[in-house]
Amino acid sequence: MRKNLHIKVLCLAFLVLFSGGRVHLPAQGSGNLTIEMVLDQIVDLLTDYREEEAIALFDIIPLPERNSSYIRLLEASVLSSIGRFDQARTILEQVTRAEPDNIDAYFILSAIEGATGRTRQEQAALEQIIQLEPQNEEALIGLGNLHLRNRAMQNAIRYFDRVISFNPRSSSALLGQARALRMNSQWDEAESILDRTIELFPNLAEARTERSRYHWGRGQLVPALADLDEARRLAPQDYWISIDRGTLLLEMMLLEEALEEFNRAISINPGEFRAYIFSAGLKDDLGDPDGAAHDYAVLSRLRPEYYFALEGLGLHMMRQEKWEEARDAFMEAYTQSPEDFLYALLGVVAWMKMGDITAPRDYINQVIPRLRRDSLEWHMFRLYLDLTNRNYIAERDMVTRLDREENSDYKARMLFFMAQYYDIRENTTMANNYFRQIGEMNTRRIPEWRLNEWILAARGISVR
């Protein structure tokens, strides 16, 4: 979480974001030490991710300011920004007990509860603000967005309506209202509000983006793209506009243009993972396997829990015969998705191709007990476990089981492992026969399909 913070502006942003500019820090404490000096040091320490030292500095702020609500709220804000939510809540509870009408404390509390997924508590904090200030625009919009997230559209519409009733030029309320109406399939009302919002705010990129989603939802892809083009012109460095535009181009089957847009998103924010999901797959489809491998590798570093990225990386490492990297990728994918035993088997194949076919024996023995004894996976793992001592009966039994399998995708996956089994045994003729059979099945949905295509091409094997 902390890597996404703009910590340099944290302390000053707190005053604007949570207090609406109502809080003013006194400039001078006791002696020669000013509050500004301490806060500057706190910001510097947070920038270097020295959180414990930063938090400790609050204790040297001179009295009486140290115990004042504005310093305590700032401390709670900093604690929450580094994930110490319970400590932040304790401070906020103390402040609200002493000052039950402290709106700033409830705003910070609502932000913490929202960040930790405690929706009811977030709603309660925002409602407390409304009790104190019935026309608090920020809290009303916050409640509208909260109900929007919870798909309670009529409640969301009601809160946005309340803001619009006293501030008809609130762009946040207008866009929230349009979004709720769109998601509630109230198309005509949504279109009317969007057109009015764009008329009021012709340079607001978010209004164009929201209207593009309206057109998109109605199947009007060309107008949707036109709005995204204008949104990109208004906000050329907005990562999410590029993601939306690339996704729309992908739906329109404009693959090269979509890839260009996702690459643009990556150039805007190379540390955000979503664009790599699309770019990796598109590069695969457009015949750039090395580019796809690079993007899968980046994606797996940014989001190691995304096992499909590890899957893609492992397959490309196998294409390049980088067996150790392939093994590690598949085994991590299996760790992330422990019910997909074929990831483990892909790891075993890569491991054996490193040269020692006995090396994964202990690993196989750990996986086999988790498999049903009547499953194809169990029998396939047994074949690999006994690979050094060829078991003709087990081989014939496996072939018979594969012939009887009716699910074509599942059968193709298992045929791939049968092909790899023979390949590791250096029975190239049998291996190639199975690789060819998979190609003729045309089961493009399976993860191993692309790798099988590469193998066929590399070996010059033609497919009917």
23 or 158, higher pLDDT: 158
| pLDDT in the model for residue 32 | 56
Neighbours of 365 (CB within 10 A): 11
Long-range contact list for 452-455, CB < 8 A, 24+ apart?
452/416, 452/419, 454/289, 454/319
**Is the model's pTM score more than 0.85?**
no
Q: What pLDDT is recorded for position 337?
A: 92
CA-to-CA dists, residue 340 to 249, 335, 349, 377, angstroms: 32, 9, 15, 10
Q: Does residue 137 register a pLDDT over 80?
A: yes
The answer as to whether 372 is a domain residue is no
pLDDT number for residue 47: 75
Q: Which two tokens stand for residue 451?
A: 């790798």
Residue 56 falls within a domain, yes or no? Answer: yes
Residue 364 resides in a domain = no
Specify if 125 maps to a domain: yes
Residue 66: which domain range? 1-133
From CA 47, how far away is CA 303, in angstroms rounded?
24
- Reading the block at residue 419, the tokens are 């092909």
What are the tokens at 318? 């196998």
- In this structure, is residue 35 part of a structural domain? yes
Please determine, for residue 13, whether its predicted confidence score (pLDDT) is greater than 70: no
Angle of helix 323-336 relative to helix 341-352, nearest 10 degrees, comes to 160
**How far is residue 419 from each of residues 17, 92, 223, 428, measured CA to CA in Å?**
61, 63, 49, 9
For residue 118, tell me if it sits in a domain. Answer: yes
Please check the confidence at residue 457 and state whether its pLDDT lies above 90. Answer: yes
Token output for 104: 């700033």
Which residues does 342 contact at the CB level (< 8 Å), separation at least 6? Answer: 377, 413, 417
Give residue 410's pLDDT band: very low, low, confident or very high (50, 70, 90): very high
For 395-415, b/e burial (b = at least 16 CB within 10 A) is beebeebbeeeeeeebbbbbb
Residue 101's CATH number: 1.25.40.10
Q: Which two tokens stand for residue 212?
A: 């593009």
Query: What pLDDT, on a 0 to 100 scale, did the predictor assign at position 67?
Result: 80
Contacts of 42 (CB under 8 A, 6+ apart): 11, 54, 57, 58, 78
Q: Is position 43 within any domain?
A: yes
**How many structural domains is the chain composed of?**
1
- In the structure, how many helices (H) and strands (E) does the chain have? 26, 0
Asked whether residue 207 is assigned to any structural domain, the reply reads no
What pLDDT score does 28 carry? 43
